[in-house]
Copies of this chain bind each other. A is one copy, B any other.
Amino acid sequence: MDMYESGVGSRVVQIDTPSLLVDLDVFEANLARMSEFLRQGSTKLRPHSKSNKCPVIAQKQVAAGAIGICCQKLGEAEVMASHGIRDILITNQIVGPIKIARLMAVARGCDLKVAVDNPGNVDALAEAASAARLRLGVVIEVNVGMNRCGVLPGEPTVELARHIMRRPSLQFRGLMGYEGHCVDLPDFQERKTQTEKAMALLVQTRDAVQAANIEVDIVSGGGTGTYMITGRYPGITEIEAGSYVFMDTTYRQALTDFDNSLTVLSTVISRPANNRVVLDCGVKTLAGDYGTPAIEGVRPALSCGLSEEHSTWVYDSNMQDLAVGDKVRVIPAHCCATINLHDRLFAVRREVVEDIWEIAGCGKTR
Protein backbone atom coordinates (compact mmCIF):
# COMPACT_ATOMS: atom_id res chain seq x y z
CA MET A 1 0.00 0.00 0.00
CA ASP A 2 2.52 2.60 1.14
CA MET A 3 5.20 3.18 -1.43
CA TYR A 4 7.85 4.34 1.00
CA GLU A 5 7.22 1.97 3.87
CA SER A 6 10.05 0.63 5.94
CA GLY A 7 10.27 -3.08 6.63
CA VAL A 8 11.99 -5.55 8.93
CA GLY A 9 15.57 -4.45 9.53
CA SER A 10 14.80 -0.74 9.16
CA ARG A 11 15.71 1.66 11.89
CA VAL A 12 12.88 3.31 13.83
CA VAL A 13 13.69 6.74 12.40
CA GLN A 14 13.01 5.34 8.92
CA ILE A 15 9.40 4.51 9.78
CA ASP A 16 6.83 6.95 8.43
CA THR A 17 4.52 8.55 10.99
CA PRO A 18 2.14 8.27 12.72
CA SER A 19 2.92 4.58 13.30
CA LEU A 20 2.40 2.23 16.18
CA LEU A 21 5.49 0.72 17.84
CA VAL A 22 5.88 -1.97 20.44
CA ASP A 23 9.21 -2.14 22.26
CA LEU A 24 10.00 -5.85 22.35
CA ASP A 25 12.31 -5.76 25.37
CA VAL A 26 9.62 -4.09 27.47
CA PHE A 27 6.83 -6.22 26.00
CA GLU A 28 8.67 -9.45 26.79
CA ALA A 29 9.49 -8.27 30.31
CA ASN A 30 5.78 -7.55 30.84
CA LEU A 31 4.87 -11.04 29.61
CA ALA A 32 7.48 -12.59 31.92
CA ARG A 33 6.35 -10.57 34.92
CA MET A 34 2.76 -11.76 34.49
CA SER A 35 3.92 -15.38 34.08
CA GLU A 36 5.86 -15.08 37.33
CA PHE A 37 2.77 -13.72 39.13
CA LEU A 38 0.68 -16.62 37.83
CA ARG A 39 3.24 -19.23 38.88
CA GLN A 40 2.86 -18.09 42.48
CA GLY A 41 -0.89 -18.75 42.57
CA SER A 42 -3.57 -21.01 41.15
CA THR A 43 -5.63 -18.56 39.08
CA LYS A 44 -5.18 -18.84 35.31
CA LEU A 45 -4.80 -16.06 32.76
CA ARG A 46 -7.08 -15.69 29.75
CA PRO A 47 -5.88 -12.31 28.42
CA HIS A 48 -8.32 -10.03 26.68
CA SER A 49 -7.37 -9.67 23.05
CA LYS A 50 -9.65 -6.65 22.56
CA SER A 51 -6.56 -4.75 23.73
CA ASN A 52 -4.36 -5.93 20.89
CA LYS A 53 -6.59 -7.53 18.19
CA CYS A 54 -3.30 -9.05 17.06
CA PRO A 55 -2.93 -12.82 16.53
CA VAL A 56 0.86 -12.77 17.03
CA ILE A 57 0.40 -11.29 20.49
CA ALA A 58 -2.30 -13.81 21.41
CA GLN A 59 0.04 -16.61 20.32
CA LYS A 60 2.85 -15.18 22.46
CA GLN A 61 0.53 -14.93 25.47
CA VAL A 62 -0.55 -18.55 25.05
CA ALA A 63 3.10 -19.61 24.67
CA ALA A 64 3.79 -17.76 27.94
CA GLY A 65 1.15 -19.82 29.75
CA ALA A 66 -2.25 -18.24 29.06
CA ILE A 67 -5.03 -20.87 28.85
CA GLY A 68 -6.65 -19.12 25.88
CA ILE A 69 -7.96 -15.65 25.18
CA CYS A 70 -10.97 -13.42 25.64
CA CYS A 71 -12.54 -11.52 22.74
CA GLN A 72 -15.01 -8.66 22.82
CA LYS A 73 -16.22 -8.91 19.21
CA LEU A 74 -17.12 -11.87 17.08
CA GLY A 75 -14.84 -10.52 14.34
CA GLU A 76 -11.91 -10.74 16.75
CA ALA A 77 -12.79 -14.34 17.61
CA GLU A 78 -12.95 -15.23 13.91
CA VAL A 79 -9.51 -13.75 13.33
CA MET A 80 -8.00 -15.40 16.41
CA ALA A 81 -9.52 -18.82 15.66
CA SER A 82 -8.23 -18.65 12.10
CA HIS A 83 -4.76 -18.02 13.55
CA GLY A 84 -4.80 -21.16 15.66
CA ILE A 85 -6.11 -19.93 19.03
CA ARG A 86 -8.08 -22.93 20.29
CA ASP A 87 -9.75 -21.69 23.49
CA ILE A 88 -11.79 -18.49 23.27
CA LEU A 89 -14.21 -16.76 25.62
CA ILE A 90 -16.29 -14.00 24.02
CA THR A 91 -17.03 -11.73 26.98
CA ASN A 92 -19.96 -10.10 25.22
CA GLN A 93 -23.45 -10.83 23.96
CA ILE A 94 -23.65 -12.08 20.37
CA VAL A 95 -27.07 -11.10 19.09
CA GLY A 96 -29.01 -11.44 15.85
CA PRO A 97 -29.18 -14.13 13.14
CA ILE A 98 -26.20 -12.90 11.06
CA LYS A 99 -23.83 -12.92 14.02
CA ILE A 100 -25.19 -16.13 15.50
CA ALA A 101 -24.62 -17.96 12.19
CA ARG A 102 -21.03 -16.70 12.18
CA LEU A 103 -20.66 -17.73 15.83
CA MET A 104 -21.53 -21.32 14.95
CA ALA A 105 -18.80 -21.34 12.31
CA VAL A 106 -16.24 -20.27 14.93
CA ALA A 107 -17.58 -22.80 17.45
CA ARG A 108 -16.91 -25.61 14.99
CA GLY A 109 -13.19 -24.89 15.03
CA CYS A 110 -12.38 -24.23 18.67
CA ASP A 111 -13.46 -24.46 22.31
CA LEU A 112 -15.71 -21.40 22.23
CA LYS A 113 -17.64 -19.89 25.10
CA VAL A 114 -19.90 -16.86 24.76
CA ALA A 115 -21.41 -14.56 27.38
CA VAL A 116 -25.19 -14.32 27.78
CA ASP A 117 -27.42 -12.16 29.95
CA ASN A 118 -30.84 -12.63 28.35
CA PRO A 119 -33.14 -15.65 28.02
CA GLY A 120 -34.26 -14.74 24.48
CA ASN A 121 -30.65 -14.63 23.33
CA VAL A 122 -30.04 -17.97 25.11
CA ASP A 123 -32.93 -19.49 23.14
CA ALA A 124 -31.64 -18.13 19.83
CA LEU A 125 -28.15 -19.52 20.54
CA ALA A 126 -29.60 -22.88 21.59
CA GLU A 127 -31.65 -23.21 18.42
CA ALA A 128 -28.73 -22.29 16.19
CA ALA A 129 -26.41 -24.69 18.02
CA SER A 130 -28.98 -27.45 17.79
CA ALA A 131 -29.45 -26.87 14.06
CA ALA A 132 -25.66 -26.87 13.61
CA ARG A 133 -25.37 -30.07 15.74
CA LEU A 134 -23.03 -28.32 18.12
CA ARG A 135 -22.82 -27.98 21.86
CA LEU A 136 -22.02 -24.31 22.47
CA GLY A 137 -20.36 -23.19 25.68
CA VAL A 138 -21.99 -20.25 27.47
CA VAL A 139 -21.10 -18.22 30.54
CA ILE A 140 -23.48 -15.85 32.26
CA GLU A 141 -22.30 -12.26 32.46
CA VAL A 142 -23.04 -11.03 35.97
CA ASN A 143 -23.32 -7.32 36.72
CA VAL A 144 -20.82 -6.92 39.55
CA GLY A 145 -21.30 -3.16 39.77
CA MET A 146 -20.17 -1.76 36.41
CA ASN A 147 -23.82 -1.36 35.33
CA ARG A 148 -23.27 -2.08 31.66
CA CYS A 149 -24.49 -5.53 30.53
CA GLY A 150 -25.04 -8.49 32.83
CA VAL A 151 -27.65 -10.24 34.97
CA LEU A 152 -27.98 -9.19 38.59
CA PRO A 153 -25.99 -11.36 41.03
CA GLY A 154 -27.71 -14.08 43.05
CA GLU A 155 -31.16 -15.42 42.17
CA PRO A 156 -31.53 -13.77 38.70
CA THR A 157 -28.29 -15.46 37.65
CA VAL A 158 -29.40 -18.82 39.08
CA GLU A 159 -32.63 -18.50 37.13
CA LEU A 160 -30.81 -17.87 33.83
CA ALA A 161 -28.44 -20.78 34.60
CA ARG A 162 -31.49 -23.07 35.01
CA HIS A 163 -32.81 -21.76 31.70
CA ILE A 164 -29.51 -22.65 30.02
CA MET A 165 -29.47 -26.11 31.63
CA ARG A 166 -32.78 -26.87 29.92
CA ARG A 167 -31.18 -26.47 26.48
CA PRO A 168 -29.11 -29.55 25.61
CA SER A 169 -27.34 -27.79 22.73
CA LEU A 170 -25.79 -25.40 25.25
CA GLN A 171 -23.17 -26.21 27.84
CA PHE A 172 -23.24 -23.99 30.91
CA ARG A 173 -19.61 -23.23 31.69
CA GLY A 174 -19.75 -20.62 34.42
CA LEU A 175 -19.79 -16.93 35.23
CA MET A 176 -17.97 -13.79 34.24
CA GLY A 177 -18.12 -10.40 35.92
CA TYR A 178 -15.96 -7.54 34.79
CA GLU A 179 -15.26 -4.89 37.41
CA GLY A 180 -14.69 -2.15 34.83
CA HIS A 181 -15.67 0.47 37.41
CA CYS A 182 -12.62 -0.47 39.50
CA VAL A 183 -9.72 -1.16 37.12
CA ASP A 184 -8.30 2.34 36.97
CA LEU A 185 -9.19 3.74 40.38
CA PRO A 186 -5.96 5.58 41.22
CA ASP A 187 -5.99 4.84 44.96
CA PHE A 188 -4.94 1.24 45.46
CA GLN A 189 -6.82 0.66 48.72
CA GLU A 190 -10.03 2.00 47.22
CA ARG A 191 -9.48 -0.15 44.13
CA LYS A 192 -8.89 -3.22 46.30
CA THR A 193 -12.00 -2.59 48.42
CA GLN A 194 -14.24 -2.05 45.39
CA THR A 195 -12.78 -4.99 43.45
CA GLU A 196 -13.15 -7.38 46.38
CA LYS A 197 -16.75 -6.26 46.76
CA ALA A 198 -17.36 -7.04 43.07
CA MET A 199 -15.58 -10.41 43.25
CA ALA A 200 -17.49 -11.31 46.41
CA LEU A 201 -20.75 -10.81 44.48
CA LEU A 202 -19.43 -13.06 41.73
CA VAL A 203 -18.26 -15.85 44.04
CA GLN A 204 -21.45 -15.69 46.13
CA THR A 205 -23.38 -16.04 42.88
CA ARG A 206 -21.27 -19.07 41.97
CA ASP A 207 -22.22 -20.57 45.35
CA ALA A 208 -25.90 -19.91 44.64
CA VAL A 209 -25.67 -21.56 41.23
CA GLN A 210 -23.84 -24.55 42.68
CA ALA A 211 -26.49 -24.78 45.41
CA ALA A 212 -28.96 -25.33 42.57
CA ASN A 213 -26.86 -28.37 41.55
CA ILE A 214 -25.37 -26.68 38.52
CA GLU A 215 -21.67 -27.14 37.98
CA VAL A 216 -19.61 -23.95 37.63
CA ASP A 217 -16.33 -24.47 35.84
CA ILE A 218 -15.30 -20.90 35.04
CA VAL A 219 -15.44 -17.83 37.28
CA SER A 220 -13.82 -15.02 35.29
CA GLY A 221 -13.07 -11.38 36.13
CA GLY A 222 -10.21 -8.96 36.45
CA GLY A 223 -8.44 -6.41 34.30
CA THR A 224 -4.88 -5.13 34.25
CA GLY A 225 -5.57 -2.65 37.04
CA THR A 226 -6.97 -5.34 39.34
CA TYR A 227 -5.12 -8.51 38.31
CA MET A 228 -3.20 -8.58 41.60
CA ILE A 229 -6.50 -8.55 43.50
CA THR A 230 -8.71 -10.79 41.33
CA GLY A 231 -5.78 -13.11 40.60
CA ARG A 232 -5.54 -13.89 44.32
CA TYR A 233 -9.24 -13.78 45.17
CA PRO A 234 -10.47 -17.22 46.30
CA GLY A 235 -12.91 -18.66 43.79
CA ILE A 236 -11.83 -16.67 40.74
CA THR A 237 -10.57 -19.30 38.29
CA GLU A 238 -9.25 -17.03 35.56
CA ILE A 239 -8.47 -13.37 34.96
CA GLU A 240 -9.00 -11.35 31.80
CA ALA A 241 -6.16 -8.80 32.01
CA GLY A 242 -4.80 -7.94 28.56
CA SER A 243 -3.41 -4.40 28.60
CA TYR A 244 -0.52 -5.46 30.86
CA VAL A 245 1.59 -6.24 27.78
CA PHE A 246 1.35 -2.60 26.64
CA MET A 247 0.25 -0.36 29.53
CA ASP A 248 -0.56 3.33 28.91
CA THR A 249 -0.38 6.58 30.85
CA THR A 250 -3.70 5.89 32.59
CA TYR A 251 -2.78 2.38 33.74
CA ARG A 252 0.68 3.52 34.78
CA GLN A 253 -0.97 5.90 37.25
CA ALA A 254 -2.75 2.91 38.75
CA LEU A 255 0.18 0.47 38.81
CA THR A 256 3.90 0.27 38.04
CA ASP A 257 4.18 -3.54 37.86
CA PHE A 258 4.52 -3.30 34.08
CA ASP A 259 6.19 -0.75 31.84
CA ASN A 260 4.94 1.12 28.77
CA SER A 261 5.83 -0.86 25.64
CA LEU A 262 3.39 0.81 23.22
CA THR A 263 4.01 4.17 21.58
CA VAL A 264 2.84 6.12 18.57
CA LEU A 265 5.86 7.24 16.59
CA SER A 266 5.09 10.82 15.55
CA THR A 267 6.75 13.73 13.81
CA VAL A 268 6.99 17.32 15.00
CA ILE A 269 5.22 19.11 12.15
CA SER A 270 5.06 22.61 13.59
CA ARG A 271 6.79 24.74 16.22
CA PRO A 272 4.54 27.79 16.03
CA ALA A 273 5.62 29.24 19.38
CA ASN A 274 8.51 28.77 21.78
CA ASN A 275 6.38 26.81 24.19
CA ARG A 276 4.19 24.96 21.67
CA VAL A 277 4.92 21.71 19.82
CA VAL A 278 2.54 20.17 17.28
CA LEU A 279 2.77 16.47 16.38
CA ASP A 280 1.10 14.60 13.51
CA CYS A 281 -0.89 12.27 15.80
CA GLY A 282 -4.47 13.22 16.71
CA VAL A 283 -7.61 11.36 17.73
CA LYS A 284 -7.58 9.46 14.44
CA THR A 285 -4.32 7.71 15.40
CA LEU A 286 -4.06 8.25 19.19
CA ALA A 287 -7.16 7.50 21.24
CA GLY A 288 -8.71 10.53 22.90
CA ASP A 289 -11.46 8.79 24.85
CA TYR A 290 -9.81 9.44 28.21
CA GLY A 291 -6.60 10.38 29.95
CA THR A 292 -3.62 12.40 28.78
CA PRO A 293 -0.87 10.96 26.60
CA ALA A 294 2.83 11.71 27.16
CA ILE A 295 5.89 12.15 24.97
CA GLU A 296 8.49 9.58 25.99
CA GLY A 297 11.64 11.15 27.40
CA VAL A 298 10.31 14.71 27.21
CA ARG A 299 9.32 16.74 30.25
CA PRO A 300 5.60 16.82 31.00
CA ALA A 301 3.52 19.35 29.06
CA LEU A 302 1.11 21.77 30.70
CA SER A 303 -1.57 20.51 28.35
CA CYS A 304 -2.05 18.26 25.34
CA GLY A 305 -4.91 19.13 23.00
CA LEU A 306 -5.96 16.51 20.49
CA SER A 307 -7.63 17.37 17.23
CA GLU A 308 -8.17 14.93 14.38
CA GLU A 309 -4.65 14.74 12.97
CA HIS A 310 -2.74 16.96 15.41
CA SER A 311 -1.73 16.92 19.03
CA THR A 312 -0.76 20.31 20.43
CA TRP A 313 1.57 20.22 23.43
CA VAL A 314 1.92 23.41 25.47
CA TYR A 315 4.84 23.81 27.87
CA ASP A 316 5.47 26.15 30.78
CA SER A 317 8.49 27.66 29.06
CA ASN A 318 10.69 27.53 25.97
CA MET A 319 10.90 24.05 24.45
CA GLN A 320 14.26 23.94 22.75
CA ASP A 321 14.74 20.19 22.43
CA LEU A 322 12.11 19.54 19.75
CA ALA A 323 12.43 20.85 16.18
CA VAL A 324 10.27 20.47 13.08
CA GLY A 325 11.01 17.04 11.60
CA ASP A 326 12.06 15.38 14.86
CA LYS A 327 10.44 12.05 15.57
CA VAL A 328 9.17 11.28 19.06
CA ARG A 329 7.32 8.41 20.72
CA VAL A 330 3.97 9.21 22.29
CA ILE A 331 2.67 6.95 25.07
CA PRO A 332 -1.10 6.66 24.61
CA ALA A 333 -3.55 7.37 27.41
CA HIS A 334 -5.62 4.35 26.33
CA CYS A 335 -3.78 1.50 24.63
CA CYS A 336 -6.82 -0.55 23.50
CA ALA A 337 -8.60 2.27 21.67
CA THR A 338 -5.31 3.44 20.12
CA ILE A 339 -4.48 0.03 18.64
CA ASN A 340 -7.94 -0.06 17.05
CA LEU A 341 -6.90 2.96 14.96
CA HIS A 342 -3.97 1.16 13.31
CA ASP A 343 -3.56 -1.84 11.06
CA ARG A 344 -0.08 -2.95 12.06
CA LEU A 345 2.41 -2.82 14.88
CA PHE A 346 6.12 -2.26 14.29
CA ALA A 347 7.86 -4.59 16.76
CA VAL A 348 11.17 -2.90 17.53
CA ARG A 349 14.19 -3.78 19.60
CA ARG A 350 16.89 -1.23 20.34
CA GLU A 351 15.87 1.08 17.44
CA VAL A 352 15.57 -1.69 14.82
CA VAL A 353 12.34 -3.13 13.37
CA GLU A 354 12.43 -6.82 14.22
CA ASP A 355 8.97 -7.72 12.97
CA ILE A 356 5.70 -6.20 11.73
CA TRP A 357 2.55 -7.60 13.33
CA GLU A 358 -0.78 -7.30 11.61
CA ILE A 359 -3.61 -5.97 13.81
CA ALA A 360 -5.91 -8.35 11.99
CA GLY A 361 -8.93 -7.76 14.20
CA CYS A 362 -8.86 -3.96 13.91
CA GLY A 363 -11.86 -1.63 13.74
CA LYS A 364 -13.36 -2.83 10.50
CA THR A 365 -14.27 -6.27 11.88
CA ARG A 366 -17.84 -6.51 13.11
The chain A residues found within 8 Å of chain B, CB to CB, are 1-4, 14, 16-19, 50, 72-73, 92-96, 98-99, 101-102, 105, 117-118, 120-121, 124, 143, 147-152, 180, 267-273, 276, 278, 280, 283-285, 287-289, 305-310, 312, 323-325, 327, 336-337, 340-343, 363-366
Contacting residues, chain B, for A19 (C-beta < 8 A): 366
Enumerate chain B residues within 8 angstroms of A148, measured Cβ to Cβ. 270, 272, 278, 305, 307, 310, 312
Residues of B within 8 A of A327 (CB): 96
A309 B50 Cβ-Cβ under 8 A? yes
Q: Does A308 contact B4, Cβ atoms closer than 8 Å? A: no
Contact assessment for A270 and B93 in the assembled complex, using a CB-CB cutoff below 8 Å: yes
- Residue in B105, B147, B307, B341 whose beta carbon sits within 8 Å of that of A276 in the complex: B147
The 14 listed contacts between A and B (C-beta, < 8 Å) are A3-B105, A93-B269, A117-B272, A118-B270, A120-B323, A147-B272, A147-B273, A149-B310, A150-B270, A289-B306, A340-B341, A341-B341, A341-B363, A342-B363
Q: Are A308 and B337 neighbours in the complex by a CB distance under 8 Å? A: yes
Are A120 and B307 also in contact (CB < 8 A) when A267-B95, A343-B364 are?
no
Number of copies: 2
- Minimal beta-carbon separation of A122 from chain B (angstroms): 11
Q: Is the CB of B102 within 8 A of A4?
A: yes
Contacts of A121 in B (CB 8 A): 324-325
Q: A103 CA to B316 CA in the complex, in Å?
A: 35
Chain B residues closer than 8 Å to A4, beta-carbon distance: 98, 101-102
What are the residues of chain B within 8 A of A150 when measuring CB–CB?
Answer: 270, 272
Q: Which residues from B are CB-within-8-Å of A269? A: 92-95, 149
Q: How far is the CB of A358 from chain B (nearest CB, A)?
A: 11
Q: A17-B366, A72-B309, A121-B324 are in contact. List 17 more A-B contacts (CB 8 A).
A: A1-B364, A1-B365, A2-B366, A4-B98, A50-B308, A50-B309, A95-B280, A96-B325, A117-B272, A124-B325, A148-B272, A148-B307, A149-B270, A149-B278, A284-B337, A284-B363, A342-B363
Residue contact B96 to A17, C-beta cutoff 8 Å: yes
User: Across the interface, which residues of B come within 8 angstroms of A95, CB to CB?
Assistant: 267-269, 280, 324-325
